[in-house]
Amino acid sequence: MAHADTHDHHDHDHKPTGIGRWLFATNHKDIGTMYLLFALMMFFLGGAMALGIRLELFKPGMQWFDPAFYNSLVTNHALIMIFGAVMPAWVGLANWMIPLQVGAPDMALPRMNNYSFWILPFAFTLLLSSFFTAGGGPAGGWTLYPPLSLQAGDSFPLTIFAIHMMGISSIMGAINVIVTIMNMRAPGMTLLKLPLFCWTWLITAYLLIAVMPVLAGAVTMLLTDHYFGTSFFNPAGGGDPVMFQHIFWFFGHPEVYILILPAFGIVSEIIPAFSRKPLFGYDAMVYASASIAFLSFIVWAHHMFTVGMPLAGQMFFMMSTMLIAIPTGVKVFNWTATMWKGSITFEPPMLFALAFLFLFTIGGFSGLMLAIAPADFQYQDTYFVVAHFHYVLVPGAVFAIMAGVYYWLPKWTGHMYSMSLAKWHFWLSTVSVNVLFFPQHFLGLAGMPRRIPDYSTQFTDWNMVSSVGGFVFGFSQLLFVVVVWQCARGGAKATDKVWDGQMTGLEWTVASPAPYHSFTDAPDLTGVADTHH
């Protein structure tokens, strides 16, 4: 170790140069940057598809697309946003921040880190190339329900293999997070001193390892049903199409917590920082996250209330789903209590965290309503569901990603960004995201099914409002690119502490920009007072 340390000191901040720095990257910051840029590209690609959808739905009648192409837009929008934008953004943030937060020099498995990133561009090239195959892109919905998904043309194997690759990438990323957090924490950093972003990511990583293989199994069975004459899901051969839904949602429900748990972590760091007060109920936050993760394995069939489950099954999944409201409620109450008697300021990361707090909670309320099985018969597969999951995913997960980027960007680049531009981005996004998604509650309740390219004329007004919101939201995101671009290029020098807040993480003890190799000497936290308790 001593030798390695000396060596590192010689090489301090010696960066590899040229394309090799990125192709053969093993540095957690470089890999984190690539993940984040990839996620940003996919966010715009998936967003462009969403605007295509909103364009077609602007008014009744078919104006732009063939219904089959519309279906492939819907399908790919979901796959790209989930697997291409939100998940890689979380892995990117994990890469950048976990070593800095636990006091480690890098991620535990740097080469695997490289593989797990570089699989992604190939995976998405496969998925997107399917648009140019006979029959067009996958159009059976991201949920890939058979028998419909089996009707796909040549896009089918491309989609399946792309999903396999995304899954492998996620599993490798998750292994890296677990090994890093478990083995590379600075001396004295007990698990209950871990920053909450690390905690929620640790739990997320276990969820990923548990359910990604389940998805891989489900899509492999689809593949063999399609090409090798098996009948897993084909009733004519003794198979069961509903079994696919059970397997899929056994993956799919934990997956939604994979998308949101790191958001809980980020918000749990930003709200105390700008309330200048330690997080209220740190232990309760950790246990609530773990409870949510556990519950996520026993609620899956609430996505399937209309498939014809026995009454006892419906009761079980309704009750278990309602239980999730309790740990989630604990989290919302703790965040609120953190602000109580605080000393609050409203920097861009705090603004996004506050919007998260309000709007994610709205998504939580509609989630509770959806749990009520008899009412779910009316909500299921309508725009009410679309509104619900977009509230938890856009002003939920995506806003938390924005909050995290605005929080740590000066630490990454060494520059402050334009606060006024970031605030413009915030206000435009927050207003337009509500104009975009709130009316979709009304549409769903009034009876508009989801995944339809055209609608009955009574749904016209709210669809127009929603589309206008969609375009404003979409174009507002260009401001985010401007802010990040300017900040990467230059700007006022950021201090080590960056913010005038109460931050406790180790990332604020290193220079801004953070040195290329994080902690060559582990900081010793033994005996350091536990700020959370």
Partner 1 sequence: MLNRKVLSALGGILAALPALAYESSYNMTTGVTDISRQVHGLHMMTFWVCVAIAVAVFGVMIYSIMTFRKSKGAVADQTLLHSTKVEVIWTVIPVLILIGVAVPTAKTMVRMDDTRNADLSIKITGYQWKWQYEYMGTGVSFYSTLAPSSNEARQLHSGIDPKSVKDYLLEVDHPVVVPVDAKVRLLLTGNDVIHSWWVPDFAVKKDAIPGFINEAWFKAEKIGHYTGQCTELCGRDHGFMPIAVDVVSKEDYAKWLAAQQEAAKAAAPAATTAANSAASASATL
| Residues annotated as part of the active site | 77, 106, 142, 169-170, 253, 255, 257, 268, 302-303, 328, 331, 450
Alpha-carbon distance of 318 to 316, in angstroms, equals: 5
Position 23 contacts partner 1 (CB under 8 A): no
With beta carbons less than 8 A apart as the criterion, state whether 246 and 304 touch.
yes
Tokens of 251: 């993956």
Position 381 contacts partner 1 (CB under 8 A): yes
Angle between helices 419-445 and 348-371 in degrees, nearest 10? 10
Comparison of 8 and 381: residue with beta carbon closer to partner 1: 381
Position 242 contacts partner 1 (CB under 8 A): yes
Residue 3 Cβ vs partner 1, minimum distance, rounded to whole Å: 43
Q: Binding string to partner 1 for residues 266 to 285, with x set by CB under 8 A, is what?
A: ---------xxxx-xxxxx-
Residue 307 Cβ vs partner 1, minimum distance, rounded to whole Å: 5
How many Cα atoms within 13 Å fall on the side-chain side of residue 387?
29
- Measured over the CA atoms of residue 488, residue 493, residue 497 and residue 502, the dihedral's sign is negative
Quote the DSSP letter at residue 516: S
To 5 degrees, how large is the angle CA 217–CA 308–CA 371?
85
- Using CB under 8 A, which of 84, 88, 140, 404 touches partner 1? 140
Position 68 contacts partner 1 (CB under 8 A): yes
Position 192 contacts partner 1 (CB under 8 A): no
- Using CB under 8 A, which of 18, 20, 229, 308 touches partner 1? 308
> 449 forms bridges with which residues in the sheet?
382
Site for partner 1 in 206-235 (CB under 8 A): 235
Site for partner 1 in 245-264 (CB under 8 A): none
> 415 forms bridges with which residues in the sheet?
493
# residues contacting partner 1 (CB under 8 A): 93
Continuous segment of H or E residues that includes residue 472: helix 460-489
- Using CB under 8 A, which of 3, 10, 341, 489 touches partner 1? 341
Position 378 contacts partner 1 (CB under 8 A): yes
Position 151 contacts partner 1 (CB under 8 A): yes
Quote the DSSP letter at residue 447: T
What Cα–Cα distance (Å) separates residue 222 from each residue in 75, 240, 246, 251? Answer: 17, 12, 14, 15
| Alpha helices, H only, 11-143 | 20-23, 28-56, 67-79, 87-102, 110-129
Position 529 contacts partner 1 (CB under 8 A): no
Position 373 contacts partner 1 (CB under 8 A): yes
Residue 347 Cβ vs partner 1, minimum distance, rounded to whole Å: 11
Using the rule CB under 8 A, give the single segment among 358-366, 386-394, 398-406, 470-478 that binds partner 1: 358-366
- Measured over the CA atoms of residue 197, residue 200, residue 201 and residue 202, the dihedral's sign is positive
Residue 99 Cβ vs partner 1, minimum distance, rounded to whole Å: 28
Using the rule CB under 8 A, give the single segment among 47-55, 87-95, 118-126, 139-147 that binds partner 1: 139-147
Comparison of 210 and 369: residue with beta carbon closer to partner 1: 369
What Cα–Cα distance (Å) separates residue 284 from each residue in 268, 272, 478, 493, 533? Answer: 12, 15, 38, 37, 11
Position 528 contacts partner 1 (CB under 8 A): no
- Using CB under 8 A, which of 307, 492, 511, 528 touches partner 1? 307
Using the rule CB under 8 A, give the single segment among 134-142, 292-300, 484-492, 503-511 that binds partner 1: 134-142
With beta carbons less than 8 A apart as the criterion, state whether 137 and 130 touch.
yes
